[in-house]
Amino acid sequence: MKLDYLLLDVFTRDRLQGNQLAVVLKGDGLLDNEMQAIAREFNLSETVFITKPQNERNSAGIRIFTPFEELPFAGHPTVGAAVVLGLQNDRTAVRMEERIGLVTALFEKADKRSGEARFALPRLSSKVADMTDKLSIAQGLGIEVEEIGCDVFAPAVYSAGVTFHLIPVRDAGVLRRVRPNVAMFNEVFFHDHHSAYVFTLTPEEPDNDIAARMFSNTAGEDPGTGSAAAALIGLLSDEADFASGQADYMLRQGKEMGRLCRISLQLRRENEVLIHGAIGGHAVIVGEGQLDLS
The predicted-structure confidence for 114-154, as pLDDT tens digits, reads as follows 999 999 999 999 999 999 999 999 999 999 999 999 999 99
In tens, the pLDDT along 168-183 reads 999 999 999 999 999 9
Give the mean pLDDT of 41-67: 97
CA-to-CA dists, residue 47 to 39, 42, 120, 209, angstroms:
5, 8, 21, 29
> Alpha-carbon torsion 155, 159, 160, 162, what sign?
positive
Contact predicate 20/7, CB 8 Å = yes
Which CATH superfamily groups domain 2-120+282-292? Diaminopimelate Epimerase; Chain A, domain 1 (3.10.310.10)
Given 46, 97, 98, 116, the catalytic residue:
46
- CATH 3.10.310.10 placement within the chain: 2-120+282-292, 126-279
CA 238 to chain centroid: 20
In tens, the pLDDT along 81-123 reads 999 999 999 999 999 999 999 999 999 999 999 999 999 999 9
Instruction: Give the per-residue pLDDT at 39.
Output: 98
Please choose, from the candidates 42, 118, 108, the residue with its C-alpha nearest in 3D space to the C-alpha of residue 78. 118
Instruction: Give the per-residue pLDDT at 294.
Output: 85
Is it the case that residue 1 has pLDDT exceeding 90?
no
Contact predicate 178/213, CB 8 Å = yes
Is it the case that residue 193 has pLDDT exceeding 90?
no
Per residue in 222-253, is it b (16+ CB within 10 Å) or e — as a string? Answer: bbbbbbbbbbbbbbbbbebeeeeeebebebbb
Collapsing DSSP to helix, strand or coil, 180 comes out as coil
% of the chain beyond a pLDDT of 90 = 97
**What is the value of pTM for the model shown?**
0.96
Is it the case that residue 291 has pLDDT exceeding 80?
yes
CATH, domain range 126-279? 3.10.310.10
| 46 flagged as catalytic | yes
